[in-house]
């Protein structure tokens, strides 16, 4: 496996092939935690670490390139444990190393780990660190993805270690974009954006504008492949995703108890299918939230169906809408529907989530008692046509 970004600049991270649940994010293609070793003429820096359980692998990768006693700096761009988890082990293994981070990160690390005895070098925006013929420069990227998030730029090689920005949860034996399957890379980059970056789209845009003023030959994120050939593709995609730029696509998602809400969902999809819009019908009993939010991010319109259960939503619908409400894809038109037995509550509660997400409501909820009759199904088809009518207007 080629791990060399430039002479004496190497990937030393960990590829997490089996991980399928990343704090609720369903990582169907695994992930990687990227750490990088940069050797200058006089000093050596490790940029970020890996998840705690994989500290031994990180130590081995570093030791293959230089004795651990010769590591001078442990740069921590981000305190989240997928990148800082192995930091305590590295501090212990590298007796001459100083931890380099910003003030907020130092505070966060002190709250996560037993840091007594650690040596620190707290850096500010734009500050540099001389490794001997090689210069690291640090830039704060607040809320990309935590308040202390920072990126590191290797000036002479024009390499940006971009932390979570431009990452993908994607396990591969290839370290570079031009070696990997780009269709899979871009799909996982999109899923990553929808599930991680979306609520921070504005700060990421601000940070990107600042960082694009740098000369960028290589952009090395903390997850997935390193961008050295196709950075233009991920940059262009980020511009679209930041506004949840809609496609001519309608999503119908639902959960059902005794098939009534399923029949309503199918009628909505049937109506939408009478137009040129792309239509996807997602049964929440088999489709996970990670996939749903990725579909919602670039749809123009969607409908959500739930029966009333115990005076509320079906649990899968509640979970999915809670997840989507937090990530808040922008600019969608939507409505709710569903069946009930003796008191209609579920669809109305779902509509409350749609309002909280800032959706434009197409219409009031469509509900029916127990089983939809033909009039109800026709109302669903008409609503599906109207929803798709919004989608096909997308330029
Ligand atoms: Fe990959 Fe915000 O950590």
User: Looking at ligand 1, which atom is closest to the CA of residue 222?
Assistant: 1
pLDDT at 245: 87
230 catalytic, yes or no? Answer: no
- Characterize 55-93 residue by residue with b for buried, 16 or more Cβ atoms within 10 angstroms of its Cβ, and e for exposed: bebbbebbeebeebeebbbbbbbbbbbbbbbbbbbbbeb
Q: Is the CB of 148 under 6 A from ligand 1?
A: no
Q: Are 227 and 356 in contact (CB under 8 A)?
A: no
- Residue 16 designated active-site: no
d(CA 293, CA 183): 19
Distance 78 CA to ligand 1 centre (A): 7
Average pLDDT of the residues in 339-367: 97
pLDDT above 90: residue 244 = no
- pLDDT mean over 299-317: 97
Question: What is the per-residue pLDDT for 1?
Answer: 86
Nearest to 194 by CA among 243, 140, 253: 243
- The region of weakest confidence among 33-47, 165-179, 198-212, 293-307 is 198-212
pLDDT at 383: 98
From the CA of 82, how far away is ligand 1's center (Å)? 6
Q: Beta strands 9-11 and 4-6: pairing type?
A: antiparallel
pLDDT tens-digit series, residues 10-50: 999 999 999 999 999 999 999 999 999 999 999 999 999 99
Residue 250 has pLDDT above 90, yes or no: yes
The verdict on the CB of residue 16 being under 6 Å from ligand 1 is no
How many Å apart are CA 239 and CA 380, to the nearest integer? 34
The answer, yes or no, to whether any atom of ligand 1 lies below 6 A from the CB of 34, is no
Q: Going by CA atoms, what residue is nearest to atom 1 of ligand 1? A: 164
Under the banding of pLDDT at 50, 70 and 90, the label for residue 157 is very high
**Among the listed ranges 24-28, 62-66, 141-145, 239-243, which one has the minimum average pLDDT value?**
239-243
| Per-residue burial over 372-385, b = 16 or more CB atoms within 10 Å of its CB, e = otherwise | beeebbebbbebbb
Q: Decide whether any atom of ligand 1 lies within 6 Å of the 228 Cβ.
A: no
Burial class (CB in 10 A: 0-12, 13-18, 19+), 137: middle
Position 243 pLDDT exceeds 90: no
């Amino acid at each position: 496996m080629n791990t060399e970004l430039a002479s004496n600049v190497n990937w030393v991270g960990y590829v997490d092939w089996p991980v399928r649940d990343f704090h609720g994010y369903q990582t169907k293609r695994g992930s990687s935690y990227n750490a990088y070793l940069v050797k200058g003429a006089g000093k050596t820096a490790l940029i970020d670490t890996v998840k705690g359980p994989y500290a031994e692998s990180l130590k081995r990768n570093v030791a293959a390139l230089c004795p651990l006693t010769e590591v001078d700096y442990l740069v921590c761009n981000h305190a989240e444990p997928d990148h800082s988890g192995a930091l305590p082990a590295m501090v212990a293994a590298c007796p001459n190393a100083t931890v380099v981070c910003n003030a907020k990160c130092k505070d966060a690390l002190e709250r996560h780990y037993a840091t007594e005895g650690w040596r620190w070098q707290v850096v500010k925006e734009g500050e540099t660190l001389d490794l001997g013929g090689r210069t690291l420069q640090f830039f704060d990227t607040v809320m990309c993805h935590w308040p202390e998030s920072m990126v590191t730029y290797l000036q002479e090689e024009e390499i940006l270690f971009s932390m979570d920005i431009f990452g993908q949860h994607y396990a591969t034996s290839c370290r570079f974009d031009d070696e990997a399957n780009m269709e899979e890379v871009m799909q996982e980059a999109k899923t990553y954006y929808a599930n991680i970056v979306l609520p921070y789209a504005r700060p990421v845009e601000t940070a990107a504008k600042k960082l694009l003023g740098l000369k960028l030959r290589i952009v090395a994120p903390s997850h997935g492949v390193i961008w050295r050939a196709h950075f233009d593709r991920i940059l262009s995609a980020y511009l679209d995703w930041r506004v949840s730029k809609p496609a001519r696509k309608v999503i119908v998602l639902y959960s059902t108890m005794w098939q009534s809400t399923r029949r309503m969902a199918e009628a909505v999809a049937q109506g939408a299918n009478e137009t040129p819009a792309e239509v996807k019908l997602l049964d929440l009993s088999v489709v996970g939230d990670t996939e749903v939010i990725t579909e919602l991010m670039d749809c123009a319109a969607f409908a959500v169906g739930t029966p009333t259960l115990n005076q509320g939503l079906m649990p899968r619908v509640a979970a999915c809408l809670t997840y989507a409400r937090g990530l808040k894809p922008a600019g969608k038109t939507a409505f709710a529907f569903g069946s009930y037995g003796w008191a209609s509550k579920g669809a109305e509660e779902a509509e409350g989530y749609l309002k909280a997400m800032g959706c434009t409501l197409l219409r009031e909820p469509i509900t029916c008692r127990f089983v939809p009759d033909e009039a109800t199904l026709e109302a669903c088809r008409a609503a599906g046509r109207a929803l798709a009518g919004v989608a096909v207007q997308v330029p």
